[in-house]
Every structure is written in structure tokens, then in C-alpha cells.
Structure 1
């Protein structure tokens, strides 16, 4: 994203994960809190065609609370994430103890492995991963509450009034928790399915052939009641979700999920079959991790001969084997058999819950029901990892129970300890990658080089390492030449270095690959203007202002950029003295600007155009509008002060200049304008003080230095004036006016031969300047009177 301020400052955009917080208006207290219910995770209305449809109002609310506590200081956000992970681990430990009450090794190993699992680093260390951690907490709350509900209804549904109230309270708590989980992240709704699996296969201990009897037999009324409540909640939640998000599905870039964009059904199928196997491997061996797996970081499977198909086959074979084991266990049951009646039965229960926790929350990410905007996302494995850890812990318990010697048990304990330490070490190492953005992007180069190099270049550029940034941008493009964002950011880099031709070429390439990229159009217009190609710049600005924004990921920025294009078009006309035309464009921008656009600069420039036409009443109205929108807008203070001075309201004018100085005491422009005002009312001493302050703040700005020298001369501070004229000459040695004024000051200060040298240099640069010639004649006449020979 870019913002064009009064001085055309250009800013780079933020990664999507950062945009969910830093540029999300819903995080700010100024946005009505009710707006969280209608916007997606990035602050875009859900009904907009460019919305990601990610509906997570509770997560955004938590960011808002963090902002109220510490604004954008990252520490509080990270501490909150860690605290949530601790809470999730605690709840998972309660679940493991409930499911395996007599298996100490299982109920100890499972939560420890979960706590240290490296796959969680993104969800905990990455602030936006809070959605997954928060959803997991409510998910576990729903499951534990539903298990209590099932416990209250053991035996039959008839009982005391207190028992019925308690049972319904636990059911209500489960449904509310599942809703909160979904409002934290979408896949939290799968808590309802896991609750159903627990009720049917673990609590009621039904065999597959008994499932239909739930609807017909009185003895299963408790199960029917629970499943009816879960089903009704599922229908209501999905209906509300669809109603809020609108009828349009989200749109994703082909780079986000290349397989979904592939025309071949065979390639799509083979790739989608493999991705769960890849995720399973990350759960088992989380060594190779990345912040981003898009852009074919995992190449498409285009042939049945691809060896990765063996991994797919292995996964589904293992799942089939586990399913068959569970089914055989279920078939041997008698309905209502107590879970503690035998280890085989308990083993089936734990396996059912482990598979349910691992598979059901992962289903939305499989592309089975709808395409998703990612290939692999480590954070979405936060809840499924509970199932994996539970199965590993239970497997360790079974091995321990079957171990015939103490040595075998010690070896098993040692293996679990080593696994925990390996997980902890990898998590510690991965946290170092997440400590800074530069570390994170460097760590992803081996997995996703185009995305990693592109993001790394942004970081290097922001650190002032321009040569390294340019190398990284070009490296990213060497892997994937059609990345519009990288071309755009490289264009910004060239523009900052005043390499305008190269910047222009990069902006054109960005537009070629993304024709509706308003930011590239806007900056191309800026570059054309700087190159003096004003007609071409005006054409680009106008085209930018008319770009369609439907279906774009960041419609707020797109619409704001279109208004910025009109703003800069108006400035282009104003700079050419065509103020009437500039006013027309500015007013068009005012009519079209979206509610989130910050219009103070636009209003200020509109007032400036009226001021130039000496329509002072209109100018004053727009200056005041700018100040109403943003009371601390310094440029409006300065321009309004100039207007009041022009209208001979001197006292009021000075008050506005004083306010500007209070708001920005270290802004050289403020002191420059204040000094100009004081000079115009002939308060030369005070004017000189402000110009000196401005010169101290901006020692390389020629205009400020030169004007400071002039004002010091008017105040009679000739020695200081001489020093500043010398500084002006150093800044612009080819500027004849600098040498002429230095000569005049030296002349006044009695340094006649130095004055003559400055006059001669001024005439060398501008031979026909009559004032310099006259001053030189006077000087030489004075030299003659003093009997001093001229230098030449």
C-alpha cells in the first residue's frame, strides 16, 4: 500500500499478516465496535467482492484490546499469544486426562508434546496466528462441556429437575463455546462434529449398525437429543455465516493455491490427495518449516509416476487401517458397555477421539468442499496436532503396557524424552526465525525463494540497505518474473534513488501483470511528473482514478489510491497555474472519496487553489474543513495562517503559526513559514530567529539557507548573514544568485577583495546580470578610493 501525503511521500505495503492489524481500521477504537460483525479479518466488508470472507470478529476484538493497552507495540500482542497457548495446553491436558484416566504416560506425554510442538510456532509467534490458538481454546471448551453434558445424561434422560437444568447448562455451554470458536476462526465450527463423534462412539458406545436406531429407539433418546442440538446449531451457524458473507465465494490468486487454478482434473486430484500427507509429515517431523508455502513451493503432481504419490498412498493406508481397527472394536461392543471394562474398548475410544480431533478440524483445509487460499498453512494444524499428540501418547501407553522388561520401559521413556527435547529445540530454533522479519524471510528462502526474497527486499530497503534490496528484488524476479508487487516495490526503490527511467519500467511491468494495480498507476504518474512529462502523468492519473476495484483483496487501499490519483492530478494542474481546473478535480475527489479516506490534505489543497484565485472566503472554508477533520494537521495551520495574514488579520495569523510550532517544533517548514510571515510584517529580528532554526533543522535545504541569509541581512545581523550566504554557495556552487548575494554581504562587511571575487564568479555564471555589474563597479570605485588594486 502507498499513501501520498502533502510532500508525495511513498510508503511500501505491509504483508497480509501485518495488514490484519496495522492497517485494519477495526482494530482502532475510533471504529464502531459493531463494525467487527460486518467486516472480514482485514477490515473489508464481507459483502465486498474483494473480501477474503475470513470472519473472525473475536480475534479482531482481541487485537483491539491489545491496541487499547499498548497501541502497536508488539510485546503485549506476543505475551497475549503465549498466554493463550498456555491456556490451550492446560485445557488439552484436562481432555487427555479425561480420555485416558488410567494411562498416566499417555495423559502426561500428550500435553507435553503439544506444548512443545514446533508446528505451533507460527500460531504463537506470529500475532495473527492468535485466531487458531483462540479457536482451539473455545474448541476444547465446547468438547469438555459436551462431555460433561453426556456425563449428566448417563443412563436416561429423566431425572431430577436440578439434573435436567445442569445437563442443559452444559449443553448450552458447549454450543456457545463452539459458536465462539467459529467466531474466532472459521474451522472452529468443526467442534460440533467432534462432539457428535464423542457422543455416538465414546459415550453411547454405539456400533455402526446401531446408528439408525438413534432415530427409532427410546433407549437412545439422550443421543438423539444431543445430536439434534448439535445439528440445529450447525445449521443456524452456517446459515448466519452465509447470510453475513453474502452469496459470492472468496477469490484467490492462482499463486495462493496453484492446484485449484490448474485445468487438469488429474493434476488437481493427485496434488490435493498429497497435501494431507504433507501436513501429516509436518506433524510427525516438523523440521522443514516456512512462513509461506504458496507459489508452487510444493510443486504440482503432474504424473502418477511421481514418487510423492507413495506418501499419499501410505497416509490413506494408515488411516484405513486405523479405521478398520476402530470399526472392529466397535463391532465387538455391546451398547452401553462401560469404557473402563477393557483396554481394547478404551483403546478404541482414544483412537476415535484422536482421529476425530486430527481429521475433522482439518477437513475445511483439504479443498474437498471448497477451494482455500493456501497450499499449506502451519497454523491451521494447531487443533489437528491435538489428535496427533493424543494418538502418540496413547501409542506410548500401549507399548509401555506390553513391555516385558524394565529396560524396555526405560528405553520407551527415553525415546519420549528425546522426542520432547527435539520438539523443544526445534521450537526454540524456529522462534529465533520469527524474532524478526528479516530472520523469518531468510529462513524461507530454501522453501519459497520468490516470496522470501521479495519480502526480504522490502525489509532491507526499509533498513536503508538499498543495494542489497535491489539484489533481493531481482533475485525474486529471477524465480518468478510475473510478481507485480515485486516489480512495484523495485520501482519504488528506483524512484527513491531518482532512477526514474528504471522506476517507470518497473511500474509498467507491475501494471502488465496486474492491470488494475492502482498503486503502480499512481506512482507511475508521480515519476512522469518528476520527469517533466506532465501530459502523460495527467493521463495516467485520470486512468488510475477510473480503475475498477471489484474482486480485489484490499478494496480500501484501492479506493483511497484512486482519490490520491485525483489529488495529484489537481496538484499537477495547480503547479501549472491552472487553478480553476485544479479546483474541478479536487471537488471531483471530494465527491468520490470513500468514508475511510483521510481528506485533510485534499481539503487543504482545495483551499490553497481558492487562495491563489483570491477567493478568500472559499479558501477559508476549506482550510477550516481540513482542520475539522484533523485538528493537528500542520500544513492546514500554515496555509490558514498565510490566508489570515493576506486578509490583514495579523493577530489571528500569528496564533495559527504559533499553534503549528507547538505541534511540530522540529519541522523546518513550520519555522520557514513563520519566519516568512514575520518578515512580511517587518519583524525582522524574530523572523531571523525562525529562519536560523529552520536552517539548523534542514542544513542541506538551499532555499531555507538562502532565505535565512536574506532575513539575517534585513535584521542587521550581517556576520551571520555572511555565514549563511557562504553555506548557500557551498550547496549550489553553480547558482549565480548565491555568489552575487555573498559578494554584496562581503561588500557590506568590508571584505572587499573577497566580495570582488564573488561578483566575478557570479558574472562568470551569468555574464549579463546588471545588478552584479553595478555592484562590481561600485566596489571597484571604493577600492580605487582606498588605493587598493583590484584582483583582476
Structure 2
């Protein structure tokens, strides 16, 4: 008995250890791909967010009822992320550790199921090790968002194992009353599976399949004639089916209620076939995709983080060679079905239906050492063992009829492969992806069971030890190849850069676009620009890529190219609010305030329903109102600006921090001369966010206006203490010091500000004035030149440059600068006076230099 227990534990331990070892190299990986939106930007992970929100929001933190929601309802998975956040904030190590440990647990539980289904040690080893090492699992384990698939798989297994125990107890007089414990377990684990990922609800169909075709071995004819509802010996089966149906209907109804009774909306690029007008194209493509998924299970040589955007070309005609794979798949399924139906029709009924053997009064035969149902013909099984005809690896109970057990394995394996895959098949409703490797995590269990059973069959078919060793060698080689592929694939998931680079061959448009974002963040702007353009070569209508390229160009001061990129982004996605916002900002920088105001207003009134990440779009619309208010403030239309800010405060979503709006309200009142009201709004901004630097600066400037210089300087210093690297603080502080006559200190602050940032025109111009006042004329000249290069359209810039050149004795250049200023503003008296003085000086010097 002890030896048997040890033999049962060995496959479980081996598979569990292999799964741990293969994924240890993911622990030092960073966040990648979907992890950013699901974890780093998900408000539901934060402790200040009410815990109940996870039951009303989708996986990405968007309310389920919102039109832009993905409708992915996985509150238990989000709860586990929240647990990670509570202990490690946004350190990815803890999140990866959770995934690796959870995968090891699932591997162990699956191997236990394999023992029950396969009933032989060698087959169990093969199934467990293949599941531990299969490369298709890499995305689920190495990608943190894959925890939903791993967790759902765990509850899937626990539901199925609980139902198997329920069926076993249901047939026993002594234990029948205890079956309700397992009914409760089935319900609890089924609910947990649905709350972890929707796909796992398919376990109820797997349970029903097991009860009907494996345990009761119901014939197809009996189903068609509805005998399962009329014959007395199917009473237990009817009970099980009613329980499963009740559970399933209740869960599906609850799920539909929570998602607002509306299906999710997906972009055509996510699932190109769904956007095709050709019925033939849709049918051929959607029937080919399951075959492609099966191929990924058989030969996972090519894997990718994303399979959208026609990375799998559409099957548009009957002449496409890929239809052969579809035909092979459906022929194989038909052959499997034929074998199963034939075996069910030929096999004897399960022991509970009256086999002559050692049975209790209800016709139930029990295994005396473990409480399990025994198969018939126990004596012949023992004789075969004594004769040595069974496999040396056959330490677990073997069935009397291998053909019957093969049929059982085939039924269970196909049920685990097919039912969980149906929601992702697009055959009944469209989904937002073409292929997702995470989706295959649960179906891969059925595949591994088939591999284990097939390896056992091959092993037993071999009569000579050398051939058996060849089978063992083949299994070992495949396992080593799978393990090596898994380890290599894990390294690809270490960083976003490696991950996206690995996907260029499969999905070049998406891979280049994402890789460009990574390089842009790393400061590799030339590489990033080239990558953006590579992405657009493969797919020119990607609005996000045009928008991100616009940001890169704008940061490089290539404003005209940036404008074109933003306009293209809006052309391909008119609702892209961020592109409208940046387009408005650039338009305002060109001095086209009227056009900028129209852009801001249009953006603020955009209908962003149906868009992903609605929080971002709603916040962007309020930012448009913020910038529109600033525009009116600069034009001294103060009442209009106030009305815009009031509108922004009224429309502000709860997640948009109000302190900037409060501060700008104070700015408007300050410019209107209402300092009391201005201070009230400044204080309100500080109450909303005590470390809000702009509010500190505006209060300081308000006190400066009131001539309360000591108090004003305290606020400038407080702002500097909050963020010592903020150049704007030094800039405003320097202006204050200049006004109070502390010119040397002001110069120091200006130099500090210039060292901390790429200076804008205002900083350069004001610093140049301060340097000039301190007789740092060469430094002032350099800054005036830079200021003119930034805003050559401003006459004051040319005039001041002319003045410093005049002082520095560069008279010819000074004259050109004065003339440039006068060309922009011909009647400027100060420039005219300075030019006259310059020309008098030049004439005087000429006279002195003449003989």
C-alpha cells in the first residue's frame, strides 16, 4: 500500500518540480505587453479604490457597463493582483512569483487528474511532464495577465475532480448522503472559475460529458430517444445533469447581468475576418483557425505575443492550400467520434447498471482499499499481471479492457480540448483576437492526456526492449525540445524590447510599433522613428503609431511633421482624443489661437463611447477644456475662460484630479484683480493636493503682488523643497528676486533653471535680461540668439538681440537685428531710437577711421 502511494506521488512531484525549474528565469522579468494596462494603470489595484469595484469593473479597470469595456470579468484575478500590490506595490517580482507558483500547483493537480483518467504510471508521467514543459504555456506564466488563465484552469480542475467524486458517492448506499458536500464543491469551484476567467465555465460541459459517456456509457441511440430521462437506472445521471444545468444557467445569467447585457466592441484590426464582407472568407478563416491552434499544440515552433492585424492571412477562397488542414482536422474529429460511438455501442454498461460481480444490493461494485468503483473481470487482470504481459511501468490499476479505457481517455481529452475552446472559436460570436496562446492553457490539458495515452499505447505495442527504449528516447527528446523552447521563450518575455523584437516575423506592424515605443522611452529617438515608419510601411492606418510618431517629432521640434502625424492619426481614428489635444497645443504654439480653440472645443465634445481605456479619453477631454481656458486667459477673455473652467469642473470625472483647474481659476481671478477670490482658489488647489507645485508658485506670486515679500519667498522655498529639479520653480523664484532687486541671486536661479531643462523662449529671454543687467553681456548675447531661434516671429526678441550686440560692439549684426525687428513691427519707437543711435555710432566710427 505504501509503495503504491509513493508510485502515485512520483509523477505529481516530478511534473511540479519541472514546471518550477522551467519558469524560475521569469522571476526577474519586467512587466510586459498587457501588464501595463491591467496592473500598472489599473486603479482597482490601489488600496484607496473600494474593493467592491473589482466586481463592477472589467479586467482592465473599466466599468463593465461602459461601451468601451472589454467585458472581461475576472474579479478574483484582479483581487490576486491587488494582493500583490498590497505587499510589493509595482515590483514585478512578486507578480511573477505568484504566476510560477500557481502554474506549479495547476501542474500538480492536473497530474492527479491524469492518474485518475490514464490509470498507468508511464502515461501519467508523460502527460504531467508535457503539461509542465509545453511552450504554449509561456505566455500565461511569463505574462502576468496570464494569471487569469492559470487560476481559471486550477478551478476548472477542482470542479471536475469534485464532480467525479460526486458521481462516485452518488452510486453508493453508504456514501450517497455525503455527495452533497461535493455538489457544494462543484458549485463553489465553478463560480470561482467563472470569476477568474469566463472560459472556465466550460468545465460544466466537461462534467456532463464525463457523467453521460464515461461513467454511464450512454449510447447515442439512448440520447436520441430521450431514454436518459425515462429509464430508472439513469436517475442519478438526471440528477447530475440538472445540477450542472442549474449552475450553468445561473452563472451565465449573472455574467450577462453584470456586463450590462451588451457584447463587447472590437476593432477590425483585432479580428480582421469579423470585418470581412465575404461570408465565405469568414467561414473558411474561422474553420481554419482551430486547426492552426491544434498545430500550435503539436508544434509550438512559432509563438508570438500578438496574432492580430492579419498576422494570420484571411482564407479567402476554396483554392487556398490551408483548407487542407481544416479538412484534416474535421476528418480526424469525425473519426474520433465514430470510434467513440462504436465503442459505446459495443461496451458493457458501467458496473452500476447490473454487471455480475461482487456488488452491493444496488449493483455497485467497490474497491475495498480506496473506495473507488472497480472495473469488471478483476480475476483476468490479476492473471495478466502475474504472467508479466502488462507494462513494467504499470503500477497503477489497469482496466480490464484497454480499448474501453482508450475510449474514456479520448472522450475526456476531446471534451477538455473542445468545450473550453468554443468561446474563442468565433463560430458562435466574434471575439477580440485571432489567436491567443493563453487561451490554449486549459485545452492543452486534453492534448497532454492524449499524448500520455498515445505514448503508453506505443510502449505496450513494442515487443522488444530495444523498441521500448526507442519510445522512451523519443518522449525524452520531445520533452527536452519543449523544455528548451519554453526556457528560450521565457527570456523573450523578460523585457518588452525582447518580446516585441521576437514578434516581428509574425506581426511586424504591431511589433515594430510597440518596439518603437520602448526605444523612444529609452531615448533612442532615431531608432524609434525608424521603427514607427517600419510599422506604418506594413500597416499605414494605425492611428496609435501616427500619434506616437507625432509625439516623437514634436519633442524634436519638428512641429510641421508632428502636425501631419496628428492629423493622420485623427483621419484614421476620429475619436482619438489625445491626438486632438496635441494638435490643438501645436496649433496654439503657431499663434493660430482661433483654430486651436476650435480643436480644443471639438475634442472636449467628442463622443468617445466604444473606445478602450475610457478613463484616459475622458481625462483628455477635460485637459482640452483646461487648455482652452488657458488660451482665453492669454487673450484676456477672462469671463469666457472662467466659464470654460467651470464647465471642466462640472464635467470632471472622479479620477481626474481637480487641483490644476482650481489653480487656473485662481490665476484668472488674479489677472482680473480679485486677489481675495484668487487666493481662495489657490488654497482649494492646495487642499486637493498639498504638494501641488503650481499652487505654491501662484500663491507666492499673489503675495508678491501684495508686497508681502517675506511670505512670498517662503512659498517659493516650499515649492523648491517639494521638487528641487523643477526648473519652473527656479524661473519664477528668479523673477521674484529680480523684482526685489536681488540681481546676483536671480542670476544664480536662472543658471540653475537653464541647467535643469531644455529652456523655452520665456526662460531664455528673462535669463538674458538678468545677465545683461548684471553686465554678463556675452552670456546674455548667447541666450538672446537662442531665444530668437525659437521665436523668430517676435519683434522684441530681435530688438533685444540687437541691443546686446550693440553693447558688445557687433554693430553690423546689431543693425540687422534692429531691421528684422522693424520689419515685424515698423513703428516701434524704442527700436527706431536704438537703430538711430547705432547708425550715429557707426557714422562716427567711420569718420574717425577716414583719413
Q: Select which of 658, 662, 674 maps to 2:717.
A: 658
CA separation of 1:150 and 1:648: change in aligned 2, threshold 3 A: farther
Does 2:291 match 1:257?
Answer: no
Distance in 2 (CA, whole Å) between partners of 1:47 and 1:190 is 24
Distance in 2 (CA, whole Å) between partners of 1:730 and 1:611 is 33
Does 2:360 match 1:301?
Answer: no
Q: Select which of 579, 583, 590 maps to 2:638.
A: 579
Does 2:162 match 1:145?
Answer: yes
Distance in 2 (CA, whole Å) between partners of 1:255 and 1:438 is 22
Does 2:591 match 1:519?
Answer: no
Does 2:670 match 1:602?
Answer: no
* Map 1:269-284 → 2, pairs under 5 A: 269-284=283-298
CA separation of 1:492 and 1:683: change in aligned 2, threshold 3 A: closer
CA separation of 1:732 and 1:705: change in aligned 2, threshold 3 A: closer
CA contact (8 A) 2:801 2:817 kept: no
* Alignment correspondent of 1:164: 177
Distance in 2 (CA, whole Å) between partners of 1:168 and 1:278 is 42
CA separation of 1:732 and 1:255: change in aligned 2, threshold 3 A: closer
CA separation of 1:756 and 1:304: change in aligned 2, threshold 3 A: closer
| Structure 1 residue 86, shift from structure 2 partner | 1.4
Distance in 1 (CA, whole Å) between partners of 2:567 and 2:527 is 23
CA separation of 1:702 and 1:472: change in aligned 2, threshold 3 A: closer
Segments of structure 1 that go 5 or more residues without pairing to the other structure are: 1-13, 745-754, 782-788
CA contact (8 A) 2:290 2:425 kept: yes
* Alignment correspondent of 2:513: 454
| Structure 1 residue 647, shift from structure 2 partner | 3.4
| Structure 1 residue 703, shift from structure 2 partner | 5.4
Distance in 2 (CA, whole Å) between partners of 1:534 and 1:104 is 78
| Structure 1 residue 43, shift from structure 2 partner | 1.5
| Structure 1 residue 204, shift from structure 2 partner | 3.4
CA contact (8 A) 1:763 1:769 kept: no
Distance in 2 (CA, whole Å) between partners of 1:500 and 1:704 is 20
CA contact (8 A) 1:573 1:582 kept: yes
* Map 1:236-251 → 2, pairs under 5 A: 236-251=250-265
CA separation of 1:756 and 1:442: change in aligned 2, threshold 3 A: closer
| Structure 1 residue 391, shift from structure 2 partner | 0.3
Does 2:100 match 1:82?
Answer: yes
CA separation of 1:756 and 1:268: change in aligned 2, threshold 3 A: closer
* Alignment correspondent of 2:484: 425
* Map 1:25-104 → 2, pairs under 5 A: 25-101=43-119, 103-104=120-121
Does 2:486 match 1:472?
Answer: no
Segments of structure 2 that go 5 or more residues without pairing to the other structure are: 1-31, 352-373, 376-398, 790-796, 820-830
* Map 1:588-667 → 2, pairs under 5 A: 588-650=647-709, 652-667=711-726
Deviations 1:5-50 (A, max 9, x none): xxxxxxxxx9655322222221222221111111111221111122
Distance in 2 (CA, whole Å) between partners of 1:20 and 1:63 is 9
CA separation of 1:463 and 1:689: change in aligned 2, threshold 3 A: closer
| Structure 1 residue 600, shift from structure 2 partner | 2.0
SS of aligned partner of 2:463:
coil
Does 2:444 match 1:382?
Answer: no
* Alignment correspondent of 1:126: 143
Q: Select which of 806, 809, 816 maps to 1:757.
A: 809
Distance in 1 (CA, whole Å) between partners of 2:758 and 2:539 is 44
CA separation of 1:528 and 1:136: change in aligned 2, threshold 3 A: same
Distance in 2 (CA, whole Å) between partners of 1:124 and 1:159 is 43
Distance in 1 (CA, whole Å) between partners of 2:764 and 2:272 is 57
CA separation of 1:221 and 1:668: change in aligned 2, threshold 3 A: same
CA contact (8 A) 1:736 1:761 kept: no
| Structure 1 residue 654, shift from structure 2 partner | 3.6
Distance in 2 (CA, whole Å) between partners of 1:431 and 1:485 is 28
* Map 1:391-406 → 2, pairs under 5 A: 391-406=450-465
Distance in 2 (CA, whole Å) between partners of 1:224 and 1:123 is 37
TM-score for both structures, normalised by structure 2 = 0.82
CA separation of 1:701 and 1:417: change in aligned 2, threshold 3 A: same
Range with greater deviation from structure 2 (559-568 or 202-211)? 202-211
Q: Select which of 161, 177, 181 maps to 2:189.
A: 177
Deviations 1:430-482 (A, max 9, x none): 22222222222222222222222222222232223333323322222222222
| Structure 1 residue 118, shift from structure 2 partner | 1.0
Deviations 1:227-268 (A, max 9, x none): 222111101101101111112211111221122222222221
CA contact (8 A) 2:767 2:783 kept: no
TM-score for both structures, normalised by structure 1 = 0.88
Range with greater deviation from structure 2 (356-365 or 550-559)? 550-559
Does 2:424 match 1:410?
Answer: no
Distance in 2 (CA, whole Å) between partners of 1:244 and 1:314 is 40
Distance in 2 (CA, whole Å) between partners of 1:528 and 1:60 is 41
Deviations 1:275-309 (A, max 9, x none): 11110001001111122211222122222221111
* Map 1:717-728 → 2, pairs under 5 A: 725=780, 728=783
CA separation of 1:505 and 1:70: change in aligned 2, threshold 3 A: same
Deviations 1:532-588 (A, max 9, x none): 222111111111111112222232222222111111111122222222222221211
Range with greater deviation from structure 2 (168-177 or 416-425)? 168-177
Distance in 2 (CA, whole Å) between partners of 1:482 and 1:712 is 50
CA contact (8 A) 2:781 2:805 kept: no
CA contact (8 A) 2:785 2:801 kept: no
Deviations 1:64-103 (A, max 9, x none): 22222333332222222222211211111111122223x1
CA separation of 1:791 and 1:595: change in aligned 2, threshold 3 A: farther
Distance in 1 (CA, whole Å) between partners of 2:89 and 2:275 is 39
CA contact (8 A) 1:739 1:759 kept: no
| Structure 1 residue 141, shift from structure 2 partner | 1.6
Distance in 2 (CA, whole Å) between partners of 1:503 and 1:682 is 42
| Structure 1 residue 771, shift from structure 2 partner | 7.3
Distance in 2 (CA, whole Å) between partners of 1:700 and 1:500 is 17
CA contact (8 A) 1:626 1:636 kept: yes
Distance in 2 (CA, whole Å) between partners of 1:724 and 1:113 is 71
CA contact (8 A) 1:89 1:115 kept: yes
CA contact (8 A) 2:768 2:781 kept: no
| Structure 1 residue 710, shift from structure 2 partner | 6.5
| Structure 1 residue 741, shift from structure 2 partner | 8.4
* Alignment correspondent of 2:616: 557
Range with greater deviation from structure 2 (345-354 or 428-437)? 428-437
Deviations 1:480-514 (A, max 9, x none): 22222222222222222222222222222222222
CA contact (8 A) 1:702 1:728 kept: no
The answer to which structure, 1 or 2, has the higher relative contact order (CA under 8 A, 6+ apart) is 2
CA contact (8 A) 2:33 2:496 kept: no
* Alignment correspondent of 1:135: 152
Distance in 2 (CA, whole Å) between partners of 1:196 and 1:360 is 11
SS of aligned partner of 1:362:
helix
| Structure 1 residue 704, shift from structure 2 partner | 4.8
* Map 1:631-710 → 2, pairs under 5 A: 631-650=690-709, 652-681=711-740, 690-698=749-757, 704=763
CA separation of 1:739 and 1:54: change in aligned 2, threshold 3 A: closer
Distance in 1 (CA, whole Å) between partners of 2:613 and 2:767 is 46
Deviations 1:701-733 (A, max 9, x none): 67557756776898xxx69x5785476467558
- The count of aligned residue pairs is 753
* Alignment correspondent of 2:369: none
CA contact (8 A) 1:20 1:128 kept: yes
Q: Select which of 333, 354, 359 maps to 2:418.
A: 359
* Map 1:340-351 → 2, pairs under 5 A: 340-351=399-410
Distance in 1 (CA, whole Å) between partners of 2:449 and 2:255 is 31
* Map 1:198-237 → 2, pairs under 5 A: 198-211=210-223, 212-237=226-251
| Structure 1 residue 113, shift from structure 2 partner | 0.9
Distance in 1 (CA, whole Å) between partners of 2:777 and 2:316 is 77
Distance in 1 (CA, whole Å) between partners of 2:72 and 2:133 is 28
CA contact (8 A) 1:291 1:444 kept: yes
